[in-house]
Amino acid sequence: MIILLSVLEFFCGSLMFSYWLGLAAKKDLKTVGDGNPGAFNLWHAAGFKIGIAGVFLDFIKGYFPLVFFISAGYAKGPAIVPIAIAPVLGHAFSPFLKFKGGKSIAVTFGVWSAVTGFEVSFAYAIILAVLLAVAKLYKRGQPTSTETDAFMVVSGMLFVFPYLVLRNFLNNIILLWFLNFLVLVYTNRKKLYGFIKLMRQYR
């Protein structure tokens, strides 16, 4: 059952709604911006209305199937780890795009909303908001670079770890966090490398 549900979740996560919305708007996201076929690149490429739709759909595919499996008692205990990480992996390695998917940010919010009743996703959102405010202050209100955005996404998820520990979440949730963190590092690896290069230039 765990394998079957994990496969179903992977399939749900692999549905590249934002990329398809981009094509409908005559925007190939793989050729726009940083080439990310996810919701936030859709936002920049096709405008906020279509972008919001992409964010919503990518969030939903991480949230609704998983919250159903949890409420039905299928995803509990150690089983929650492979089932919950599957949609994140599906988005990052979508077979619909030759296993070259998006950065899994919106679907990550969906997964954590399902697993923790929005608690951890809300905490993650606050952390990102604080990091963005600091970055804006440092850049004196100028837009942040995609490299800085990637750094905030990954470091924000890193800061989620002490929150999980302080709130006494179970080891299964800690393991899920660790796997999710690794996925975000991988999907943002090029921008993180670019961020490191930028930081070296300021030394």
Q: Is pLDDT of 155 > 90?
A: yes
Q: Is pLDDT of 82 > 90?
A: yes
d(CA 17, CA 37): 9
Domain containing residue 97: 2-201
Quickly list H helices, 17-104. 17-24, 39-46, 48-71, 80-92
Give the least confident one: 115-119, 179-183, 196-200. Answer: 196-200
Give the least confident one: 73-77, 90-94, 112-116. Answer: 73-77
**157 neighbors 184 (Cβ within 8 angstroms):** yes
pLDDT band at 203 (very low <50, low <70, confident <90, very high): low
d(CA 121, CA 119): 6
Look at residue 202 in the predicted model and tell me its pLDDT.
Answer: 63
DSSP assigned state of 11: H
Q: How many CA atoms lie less than 13 Å away from 52 in the CB half-sphere?
A: 2
Look at residue 6 in the predicted model and tell me its pLDDT.
Answer: 98
Residue % of the chain over a pLDDT of 90: 69
Q: What share of the chain is helix, strand, coil (3-state, %, to 5)?
A: 80, 0, 20
Domain count, the chain: 1
**44 neighbors 51 (Cβ within 8 angstroms):** yes
pLDDT band at 91 (very low <50, low <70, confident <90, very high): very high
Cα of 168 vs its chain's centroid, Å: 23
Instruction: Flag whether the pTM goes above 0.95.
Output: no
Give the DSSP letter string of 116-177.
HTTHHHHHHHHHHHHHHHHHHHHTTTPPPPHHHHHHHHHHHHHHHHHHHHHTT--HHHHHHH
Report, as an integer, the average pLDDT of 85-100: 96
pLDDT band at 32 (very low <50, low <70, confident <90, very high): confident
- Per-residue pLDDT of 50-69, as tens digits, reads 989 999 999 999 999 999 99
